[in-house]
Amino acid sequence: MKIKAANGFARILKSEGIPWVSCYPTNHVNNALGEEGVPILMMGEERFAVAVADAFSRVTSGKQIGVCTVMANLNAAGLQMAYGAIAQAWEDSSPLLVIAEGVGRGASRHTHYDMAEAFKSVTKWVGEVDRADLVPDYVRRAFTQLRSGRPGPVLLIIPRDLGEYEEDEHPYSPVKGWRSGPDPDDVKAALRVLLSATNPLLHVGEGVLYADATSELLRFAELAQLPVLTTLKAKGAFPENHALSVGVRGSLAEHFLKKSDVLFSVGSSLFPNRFSHAVPGAEKKAIVQCTVDTLDINRSYETRHAVIGDAKLTLQALIDELSAKGGVKKKAGLVDEIRAGKEAFLAKFRPWMESKETPINPYRVFGDLMKVLDPKKSFVTADSGNTRDQTSTVYEAHIPRGYLGWGNVSTLGFSLAGAIAAKLAYPDRQCVHVTGDAGVCYMMGNFEAVARYKIGITTIHINNGGYSGYGPGFWGAGHDPYTWQVSTHASACMATMAKAVGFYGEDVTQPSEVIPALRRAFDENAKGRPAFLEFICSHHPVHGGWIRPAVGAHYSRLFPPPHPALSPSGGEGSEQFPLPQ
């Protein structure tokens, strides 16, 4: 039986278990999706359509693949608008499928924009379908790329005029993806290094989440009695209420990073980027890197010990080998050291989390949020900037993807996409995202879609009338003193704007009203209504810091040291004021 190319593609998505496709008109594939009964989520613009699909892949750790369509062909404005969102998925290794309409036969002479060439640098693979009967082959290859090896976005270009193909002659079966196991000799060598260490540290990246290896991670950490540090993207991969967790950032993480003589990394690239730690004194440490991708090896640091393979298979092999040796006996002193360090770290923030000052201290909002959320039945994420830095400092994640963090880049407004995707993936969870004055302006055009689809999430807006740390304050002169002020709440009420498109909305000015407001918002979420809470807050740009590499004046300018007044330990990883975003 003959079928149009676009309809064949839609049926293939159904067979792959794709629950919905996000989009912004126009794309001929959208009509085929509608005809074949694939749900469509129409967002407010292309960049956000991509972001929602990207976030869906992230919050499910690739168990489900986010798919989106964007406008292209000769009028490629939609695809061009989407570039930044696709590039973000590439930077953070997110398995996203983007569908663009290709230029029709004989029409390429009418444009000087080469879609495929333009996106090769920010995709894992670009497929240009040039015959209707090749649709199954191209989609098969796309899902192979999406489900195998290092994750990354894929772009499929499907022209409108491909015609039809015989579906029975070109059948499609879902692609399972493939994994590779580690070399047993490398596993043995890695364990020899680990067991010879005096102060080992287990450094965990997002690869553990994509490999569905969090159970193996927990077992290995307990068997080897290792302190566990996660990257920002991996926050929640190891329960942060566990006795062996040293968190993500700040003085406790700094202490164990500097102290370690063996850094045992699993599922991390070890790139020392804007939102991760450099390895301090790397030349004096033994670094063992367990990664799925040889691209990571000998890139940021000299690699003398590597285990190449899927994180789940690697951890299973390490557990088997270590179990055969009897494991490592309990280290009561280590647990006591972590407990004391964690308490000292949080003691710096607890007064702010309980503050009764007005305007409200942002940490009071986060402290009260943790009191009303069940960490095992909720999802939290935050936009780039202070909201990301502050929540990732104090919010305690207990389950995988209970918190969604970022890697090398994060476009403002993405937290809304994260919350939408999380609610669609986990409808029984309470989903919350936190944004500031910059982030909220990036997402306003998409609030209507959230209300239209009755997605019950809560937006927390930390409104302090400007970009904290950019201008002057108790932290110093600020790094961008000419570009930090925005309209205050007196002249621009964002909660009113959200209410106008169907949200439940409140302004909150008193600390005592934080918890009641959150509960009212969550009650509205339970009815399928999104909520917007606008907290009138002070400027308080203090958060756990990152250890930065000392590689010259240029890097120092990009990553200046913390202000002395905000650095109780005076070091490069101590509590810091914000850097330019």
List per-residue pLDDT tens for the chain, 581 residues long. Answer: 999 999 999 999 999 999 999 999 999 999 999 999 999 999 999 999 999 999 999 999 999 999 999 999 878 899 999 999 999 999 999 999 999 998 877 677 677 889 899 999 999 999 999 999 999 999 999 999 999 999 999 999 999 999 999 999 999 999 999 999 999 999 999 999 999 999 999 999 999 999 999 999 999 999 999 999 999 999 999 999 999 999 999 999 999 999 999 999 999 999 888 889 999 999 999 999 999 999 999 999 999 899 999 999 999 999 999 999 999 999 999 999 999 999 999 999 999 999 999 999 999 999 999 999 999 999 999 999 899 999 999 999 999 999 999 877 778 999 999 999 999 999 999 999 999 999 999 999 999 999 999 999 999 999 998 888 889 999 899 989 999 988 888 888 999 999 999 999 999 999 999 999 999 999 999 999 999 999 999 999 999 999 987 654 333 333 444 443 343 333 334 455 444 34
- CA 571 to the chain's CA centroid: 27
pLDDT given for residue 492 in this prediction:
86
3-state SS class at 532: strand
What is the DSSP secondary structure assignment for residue 133, as one 8-state letter?
G
**Alpha carbons 451 and 201: distance in angstroms, whole number:** 45
In terms of Cβ atoms closer than 10 Å to its own Cβ (0-12, 13-18, 19+), residue 487 is: middle
pLDDT given for residue 548 in this prediction:
82
The reply to whether CATH 3.40.50.970 applies to domain 348-536 is: yes
Per domain, the residue ranges of the chain are 2-166, 184-342, 348-536
User: What CATH number was assigned to the domain covering residues 184-342?
Assistant: 3.40.50.1220
**Fold of the domain built from segment(s) 2-166:** Rossmann fold (3.40.50)
**Alpha carbons 267 and 48: distance in angstroms, whole number:** 28
**Alpha carbons 578 and 385: distance in angstroms, whole number:** 8
pLDDT given for residue 560 in this prediction:
43
pLDDT given for residue 576 in this prediction:
55
pLDDT given for residue 564 in this prediction:
36
Decide whether 2-166 matches 348-536 in CATH topology: yes
pLDDT given for residue 417 in this prediction:
98
Length reported for the chain: 581
Residue 223 CA: distances (Å) to CA of 219, 227, 268, 323, 577: 6, 11, 21, 8, 38
